[in-house]
Chains A and B, each alone.
Chain A
Amino acid sequence: MICPLANVEKVFDTEHGVVYQCSRQNCYWLEFQGTTTAFKISDLFLFKKRIDAIDIEAMLSESSRSYDFEIVMPFRTERCYLLNVSDILNLREILAGTKFMIQLNSEVKRCLRRGCVIA
Chain B
Amino acid sequence: MKDLLKLKSSLAEEIENILNAQIKVEAHASALYLAMSSWCDDQGFDNAAAFFARQSDEERAHMLKLFKYVGDRGGRAISPEITNVPTDFESFRGVFEQTLEQEMFVTEQFNNIADVCMKSKDYVTFNFVQWFLEEQVEEEYVARRIIELFDVIGEQGTGQWEIDKHLVKVTFDEA
Contact = CB atoms under 8 A, between A and B. Distances in A.
B10 to A, nearest CB: 11
Interface stretch (B1-9, B33-41, B44-52, B57-65): B1-9
B7 A102 contact: no
Interface of A: 9, 11, 21, 23, 26, 28, 41-42, 102-103, 105-106, 109-110
Contact of A42 (B2, B3, B6, B76): B76
A21 B1 contact: yes
Contacts of A28: 4
A110 B121 CA distance: 13
B120 to A, nearest CB: 12
B3 A105 contact: yes
The 9 closest A-B pairs by CB, nearest first: A23-B2, A106-B5, A109-B3, A41-B4, A106-B3, A105-B1, A41-B8, A9-B1, A102-B5
B1 A26 contact: no
Contacts of B8: 41-42
Interface of B: 1-9, 76
Contacts of B3: 105-106, 109
A48 to B, nearest CB: 11
B6 A109 contact: yes
A117 to B, nearest CB: 15
Nearest to A9: B1
Contacts of B9: 42
Contact of A21 (B2, B6, B76): B2
A62 to B, nearest CB: 26
A103 B2 CA distance: 12
10 contacts: A21-B1, A23-B1, A26-B2, A26-B4, A26-B7, A28-B4, A41-B7, A42-B76, A106-B5, A109-B6
Given A41-B4, A102-B4, 13 more contacts: A11-B1, A23-B1, A23-B4, A26-B4, A26-B7, A41-B8, A42-B8, A102-B5, A103-B5, A105-B3, A106-B3, A109-B6, A110-B6
Contacts of B76: 42
A11 B76 CA distance: 24
A41 B9 CA distance: 10
Contacts of A106: 3, 5-6
Contacts of B2: 21, 23, 26
A42 B70 CA distance: 14
A43 to B, nearest CB: 10
Nearest to A103: B5
- The listed residue with most A CB atoms (<10 A of its CB), out of B3, B7, B8, is B3
B70 to A, nearest CB: 13
